[in-house]
Structure 1
Amino acid sequence: MLTSAVMFVAPLLLTVQAPEPGPTIRVTVDSSRKEVVVTAGPFTIAHMPANMDHGKMHGMAGTTTPLLRFEWPMEAWFRGFDIEVTDAKGGALGSQLVHHLNIMNFDRRQLLYPAVERMVAAGSETGNVSIPKTIGMPMEPGYRLAMYAAWNNLGDADIEGAWLTVRLAWSPKNLAPRPRTILPIYMDVNYNRVTDSYDLPAGRSSKSYEFTMPLTGRVLAIGGHVHDYAEFVSLEEVESGKTIIMLKVKTDPSGLLLNMPRKYYGVRGDGLKLTRGRKYRVRADYNNITGKMIPSGAMGLLAGAFAPDKLADWPVLNPENPDIEADIAMLEKIGKPSGEGEMDHEHMDHD
């Protein structure tokens, strides 16, 4: 069996070129740091008002990147990510310019929703994510991935020539002892193919979504995503009413979002058990102190690492399923103003 050092004697370079003036996406493998580095750009990041409707962003120039397709290059265990935004000269612009970023795996299905896997779902409050080497998400060479980012430029002017870099940490396939297999779990109070945001009424409000677990497994780590004026996101057992996950949001005195905590249930134990056939409720509570309704001003989701008891029970992706087809069609439209043509398919070069 080849070691990772032997496998990557020379850097692996994949380049995806869209027609001018579209962005370029480049994928390199840094074997010394054990990272797959995805770099895309250049982008013009449009200035936008606060509390902009993020559903409309996906069809407006300069507010969302197009869907950027690439392939995962090797067999490995995915175990974390970091996001950087730089200017044309390489100077740091700050990851807070990314309102949210998703990376999709078109070769695996989500657990709870009939949609392709969201292997990374990060918000501006997420920060870098790194999980222990004792766990990992199995990845195969040739997995068809894609990413997009929604921008959050609240400055006074557009930003020209920006570059987005996402570093995807991995462990080698032959790591011993073998890591425990995890896959992403995604729980949203307002799951929608176009946008998960919803109107935020004045004052206190609560929104929730109930689901039945299709299999048994354990949550090892969990984070979330919300907007300003959020108080918490939680997960409850419907029958008992017991709250089993509680992420309390840190805000400033005016209610603006500062931080969203993460919890790790698998560090000193087996993790938080979710049971097949049992009903659960994901819930997001807000306190909008502005006195006015904020259009598309709220989101509420939990996303994390889930270890299924039986990997074979994971739902299989059926590309001919109408819901899956609709999900992919929606993703293809992201970042394209009305009437814009499709991006060309990627081509790959190996150095």
Structure 2
Amino acid sequence: MKKTIAICGAFLLAAAIAAVPFKAQGKQEKQEDSSKDNQPRHTGLDEGAAKPLPNQHEHPGFMQEDMHHAVAKGVTLDAKVDAAAHTVTLSVGPMNLPAHTSHMKMPQPPDLVWEVPMDGWLLAYHPKLVDVRGNAVPGTVLHHVAFWNENRADFLCPNKEEHIFGAGSEMTDWTEVPGYGYRVMKGNKIRIETMMYNPTATSYDKAYLEVVIPFQETSEDASAATPRRNVYPAWMDVTSCGKSGYDLPTGKSEKTGTVTLKYDGVLLGVGGHLHDYGKQIVLQDVTRQETVATLDAKADAQGHLQSVPVKLFVQQGGYKFAANDVLRISATYDNPTGKLLRDGAMGIAVGYFVAADDAKMAALWRKGKPTHGMAGMSHDQ
């Protein structure tokens, strides 16, 4: 099965929000919006930036658990900072991708860790795939990439690390949201989990995944750029706070889970994450008995997922949530293959959350050695 992953929450959400002014307060309404190589120079910010995990055969991220793969040899993480352009480019590779190779048979990169070299905000994420000569490689061969902040817990599921960025075969661009950013501190460790496959008839040798990240540093200079409001990626999962993948039965099916909010705040918008044969994601506030969003997926004639729409709440000042609100997430699928697809489904509503009192979010920072709250993925050495 072609396993296209559409991670369409903060990604398309950011692009849509960028064109809409944010109001501090506003009436809560529900209106659908389905809109969807310069060489950087090195600076002192590069020093010690990219580090492999000491134990590279375990991948504890939510997308890869309970799977076993060979480790791709020689794959490293390179970090280049362009201080003038205020960007960092992270490059994972080289990776050899033989044609007609599933993600289960493809040797997978080890988890790699980027050590953040500055205090400030990460503003956007621009992924692309290239070969060693800089030529474009189709996004089809990216099963997924996920960035995890090992130094901060997820605000909905504190047993997990904070999932700050994700992309799949659609290679969706996460555009900057004016006035907002993801807060980081120097020394934060961002774990990069990558899975490749190649369903095409063309082999790709020495491919690299590059992610360009614009950033803004903090400054004590009063004339410097205005500090940004902090956003918190909200991954609201049908498996609640467990591992996200689940077995997909034949025919029509629905899976539902809940998460409980611990903070007052607003959701700027919401999109969705599904796999092939996914039909719909619904997000509800059970406490208020309100449907926050109903997102109908688009697929091709074979059921391969193409997109999930985005619903915005920016013009109303965001969709208001209160601490202790219970959110219900439902995902529906229609699997026509006639067989159970192991770990063939996920259902996640994804968006950006802005806390009413950001000071309360400080409790999410982890000082000790990070622990991964879910079963890991083994890579056979």
Tell me if 1:24 matches 2:57. Answer: no
* Aligned counterpart, 1:13: 46
Shift, 1:170, TM fit? 1.9
Alignment of 1:201-220 (within 5 A): 201-220=249-268
Distance (whole Å) between structure 2 residues aligned to residue 325 and residue 34 of structure 1: 31
Identity %, equivalent residues? 26
Q: Comparing 209-218 with 28-37, which one deviates more in the overlay? A: 28-37
Task: Give per-residue Cα distances to partners, 1:157-207, cap 9 Å, x unaligned.
Answer: 6533111111112234355433221121111112576x5222222222111
Q: Select 2:135's aligned residue among 91, 97, 112.
A: 91
Task: Give per-residue Cα distances to partners, 1:14-41, cap 9 Å, x unaligned.
Answer: 4647699422211111234432110121
> 1:202–1:288: 8 Å Cα contact kept in structure 2?
yes
> 2:92–2:209: 8 Å Cα contact kept in structure 1?
yes
Distance 1:274-1:206 versus aligned 2 partners, 3 A rule: same
* Aligned counterpart, 1:313: 360
SS of match in other structure, 1:130: coil
Q: Select 1:187's aligned residue among 211, 236, 245.
A: 236
* Aligned counterpart, 2:214: 169
Distance (whole Å) between structure 2 residues aligned to residue 28 and residue 316 of structure 1: 28
Shift, 1:221, TM fit? 3.4
* Aligned counterpart, 2:192: 147
Q: Select 1:159's aligned residue among 204, 222, 230.
A: 204
> 1:25–1:68: 8 Å Cα contact kept in structure 2?
yes
* Aligned counterpart, 2:14: none
Tell me if 1:325 matches 2:374. Answer: no
Distance 1:17-1:278 versus aligned 2 partners, 3 A rule: closer
CA-atom RMSD, angstroms? 2.9
Q: Select 2:339's aligned residue among 253, 267, 292.
A: 292
The amino acid of 2:143's aligned partner reads: H
Distance (whole Å) between structure 2 residues aligned to residue 13 and residue 178 of structure 1: 24
Task: Give per-residue Cα distances to partners, 1:287-346, cap 9 Å, x unaligned.
Answer: 22334332222111122211111223234355779xx6243883xx56x21xx3xxxxxx
Shift, 1:46, TM fit? 5.0
The amino acid of 1:162's aligned partner reads: A
Task: Give per-residue Cα distances to partners, 1:136-176, cap 9 Å, x unaligned.
Answer: 11111111112011113112465331111111122343554
* Aligned counterpart, 2:19: none
SS of match in other structure, 1:129: coil
> 2:263–2:323: 8 Å Cα contact kept in structure 1?
yes
Distance (whole Å) between structure 1 residues aligned to residue 288 and residue 90 of structure 2: 44
Distance (whole Å) between structure 2 residues aligned to residue 308 and residue 181 of structure 1: 8
- Normalising by the residue count of structure 1, what TM-score does the alignment of the two structures yield? 0.80
Distance (whole Å) between structure 1 residues aligned to residue 367 and residue 300 of structure 2: 44
Task: Give the number of the structure with larger relative contact order, counting CA–CA contacts within 8 Å between residues 6 or more apart.
Answer: 2
> 1:122–1:225: 8 Å Cα contact kept in structure 2?
no
Q: Select 2:273's aligned residue among 222, 225, 249.
A: 225
Task: Give per-residue Cα distances to partners, 1:110-145, cap 9 Å, x unaligned.
Answer: 012111111112232351011322111111111111
SS of match in other structure, 2:320: strand
SS of match in other structure, 1:74: coil
* Aligned counterpart, 1:271: 318
* Aligned counterpart, 1:5: none
Task: Give per-residue Cα distances to partners, 1:25-61, cap 9 Å, x unaligned.
Answer: 11111234432110121112355666x6xxxx4xx65
* Aligned counterpart, 1:45: 97
Distance 1:329-1:288 versus aligned 2 partners, 3 A rule: closer
Aligned length: 316
SS of match in other structure, 1:312: helix
